[in-house]
Amino acid sequence: MNKAQKQLNKESGRISSMFNGIAPHYDKLNHILSLNVDKYWRGVMVKFLKQEYNGGGTPRVLDLACGTGDSSIALCKKGMNVTGADIAQKMLDIAIAKNDKINSKYSPLPDYILASAEDLPFEDSKFDATTISFGIRNFNNRPLCLKEIYRVIKPGGVLAILEFAKPKNAVIRFIYNLYFNNILPFIGRVVSKDKEAYKYLSDSVEAFPKYNAFCSEIKEAGFKDVKYKKLTFGICVLYTGKKQE
Ligand SMILES: C[S@@+](CC[C@H](N)C(=O)[O-])C[C@H]1O[C@@H](n2cnc3c(N)ncnc32)[C@H](O)[C@@H]1O
């Protein structure tokens, strides 16, 4: 293992420890801090995939950085065969426990695997689609991960990524900064007792590339028809693309 790989492993270890630490509070905080709007954002992503595969059997979907499984479950409930993958076992444990509460009419239930986006344990072209909700800004090496994702999607298959962004409108941006830089880290710290995790959330959104810059990264990995759609004043964005036929 070279020096760069060791550094990457160290970084991944830090990220997985942070998510393992906040796992017990993650769902509650997610819904409080997003004022439940996260459900709407996930719904938009699922609807997009549903339209792509309308009438096309049971698409196999990799829900990468699946965390506690909310997007995996939403996809499963729309008739998709979902594999969730994440580097934080405690987040996955919560996702796995949720399978007991899903109505048995939804079949197959999502299955979950501990794996990193940097090195996916799947053969080439295994999935019809890959989704990532609020996960990609945590990846250490986005170009490497996007190439791995491209590899495991079938030719013509779809990528759909939900991620936070800083809104452009000055008024919305003012409210957003107030909320993300002050209120959100405060509530996050009180509920999760983790001083850094929710400060990290606003820092990582700040560091994430702007809309067009991120579309260019997706294209560089090989995807075509790359587009983005702003949701809720541009606080959240749905990025989509397709693997070449
Ligand atoms: C903010 S959570 C999002 C979880 C879930 N997708 C959701 O919508 O609630 C980010 C997740 O990304 C995972 N993650 C970070 N880096 C990863 C990587 N390299 N490969 C896979 N998962 C990763 C974390 O462990 C964490 O569960």
For the Cβ of 66 lying below 6 angstroms from any atom of ligand 1, the answer is yes
Reported as a single tens digit per residue, the pLDDT across 139-197 is: 989 999 999 999 999 999 999 999 999 888 999 889 988 888 888 788 878 777 776 76
For the Cβ of 238 lying below 6 angstroms from any atom of ligand 1, the answer is no
Residue 4's pLDDT band (boundaries 50, 70, 90)? very low
For the Cβ of 69 lying below 6 angstroms from any atom of ligand 1, the answer is no
CA of 171 to the centre of ligand 1 (A): 30
Residue 56: what pLDDT? 74
Average pLDDT of the segment spanning 115-121: 96
CATH number at residue 222: 3.40.50.150
Residue 6: what pLDDT? 53
- Residue % of the chain over a pLDDT of 70: 94
For the Cβ of 70 lying below 6 angstroms from any atom of ligand 1, the answer is yes
Contact between residue 237 and residue 229 where contact means Cβ atoms under 8 Å apart: yes
CA distance linking residue 234 with residue 15, whole number of Å: 26
Among the atoms of ligand 1, which is closest to the Cα of residue 20? Answer: 25
Which contiguous run of DSSP H or E holds residue 31?
helix 3-33
Average pLDDT of the segment spanning 196-213: 85
CA of 196 to the centre of ligand 1 (A): 16
Could you tell me the residue range of the domain that residue 24 belongs to?
A: 3-242
From the list 134, 131, 124, 73, the residue with the least C-alpha distance to 103 is 73
For the Cβ of 138 lying below 6 angstroms from any atom of ligand 1, the answer is yes
Residue 33: what pLDDT? 78
Residue 7: what pLDDT? 53
For the Cβ of 67 lying below 6 angstroms from any atom of ligand 1, the answer is yes
* pLDDT for residue 75 is more than 80: yes
Among the ranges 34-38, 52-56, 79-83, 193-197, which has the highest mean pLDDT value?
79-83
| Tally of domains within the chain | 1
CA distance linking residue 109 with residue 104, whole number of Å: 8
